[in-house]
Amino acid sequence: MNCILLFVLWTLVAAIPCQDRGLNIHFPIPKQFTWSTAVASLYDRILDESKKKEHRNSSGLLKEIYQIETATRHLTDLVDSAQFPLTEEHIMEVEQDLKELKLASEAFRVGLDPLERHVREVFRKIVDSRTEGLDSLGTSSYTGQ
């Protein structure tokens, strides 16, 4: 179980932006388990993906983060090099980059909305169980006196 937990956390570090991803750690995968080959394969694929040229200076391996990062970088370059008034070509490039940015943002929203609902649900369950526990402790201390 510890091996799977470590792998999942390592995958999150690879996918989500952080200062120093430190993906070059090696963790042993026990060979006696039937799932060891699949986990080792996933580990190798993620490591290979992180070594690709386009991901070297990237914040994370998550596709949407990469798309937003490249579209934003391209938009920034366009704005920095633009001469006003903009030519039709520059206007079309800016509009195209904005469309890409909008699509990536929409993908984030679609993916994060269910996650947000699940996190809220788990939080409510934790608060409810804590409240029930405190209530039961409160009533048991009164009956014990």
Domain ranges of the chain: 1-61, 62-145
List, for residues 30-81, the tens digit of each pLDDT value.
788 888 888 888 888 877 777 776 555 555 556 777 777 788 888 888 777 7
Banded model confidence at residue 136, pLDDT cuts 50, 70, 90: confident
pTM of the model: 0.46
Banded model confidence at residue 10, pLDDT cuts 50, 70, 90: confident
pLDDT of residue 24: 66
List, for residues 82-131, the tens digit of each pLDDT value.
777 878 888 888 888 888 888 888 887 887 788 788 878 888 888 888 88
Name the residue among 60, 57, 92 with its Cα closest to residue 75: 92
Query: At residue 144, does pLDDT exceed 60?
Result: no
CA distance 116 to 1: 26
Q: What is the DSSP string of 88-125?
A: HHHHHHHHHHHHHHHHHHHHHHHHHHHHHHHHHHHHHH
